[in-house]
Amino acid sequence: MSNFEKRLAELGVTLPDAPAPAANYVPFVVVGDLVHISGQISQKDGALLTGKLGDGVSIEDGAKAARTCAIGLLAQLKAACGGDLDRLVRVVKLTGFVSSTADFTDQPKVINGASDFLVDALGEAGRHARSAVSAASLPLGVTVEIEGIFQIR
């Protein structure tokens, strides 16, 4: 078990198997020492987390949905690293998409669910640049989708 996975276990998190792509794309692309991971959608235990911020979904529930996306990103990263999560150098950038109404403006608070989790789980290696944007809708009606760029050794 990697050092990062030990920390995840302390947080009560076991990484799932990396989900397969749902369409015509690959889950990640490795270019040099960077891993570009395709968008991971909000889901827990195989169930989609759906709904729209500003229309029935709370910021707290949105942040929980973002956290599940971060777990999916780490599962994909582990697959990209041949099962060795300790190859991670740092999280470089996240781009978070929040399904929300036109007047909802707290997208950063929602994506904090992913950012806070990555810092808790990875320490300084989890600190990253980030964008948090609104979307009128997301695939399959999910609440959040997040893509990421990671540096590996």
Q: What would the pLDDT profile of 88-97 be if each residue is shown by its tens digit?
A: 999 999 999 9
Domains of the chain with bracketed CATH: 3-16+30-152 (3.30.1330.40)
Q: What is the per-residue pLDDT for 12?
A: 96
Q: How confident is the model at residue 22 (pLDDT cuts 50, 70, 90)?
A: confident
Q: For residue 43, which amino acid is it?
A: Q
**Closest by Cα among 108, 93, 14, 12 to 53:** 108
Q: Which two tokens stand for residue 71?
A: 């777990």
- Mean residue pLDDT of the chain comes to 97
Tokens of 101: 């109404």
Task: Give the model confidence (pLDDT) of 41-90 as tens digits.
Answer: 999 998 999 999 999 999 999 999 999 999 999 999 999 999 999 999 99
pLDDT given at position 152: 98
Alpha helices in 42-126 (DSSP H): 59-80, 107-122
Residue 129 burial by CB count (10 A; 0-12/13-18/19+): exposed, middle or buried?
exposed
b/e for 50-77, b at 16 or more Cβ within 10 A? bbbbbeebebebbbbbbbbbbbbbbbbb
SS3 state of residue 117: helix
Count of CB atoms within 10 A of residue 92's CB?
Answer: 16
Centroid of chain to Cα 108: 14
pLDDT of residue 19: 87
- pTM value > 0.85: yes
Pull the structure tokens for residue 45: 């235990």
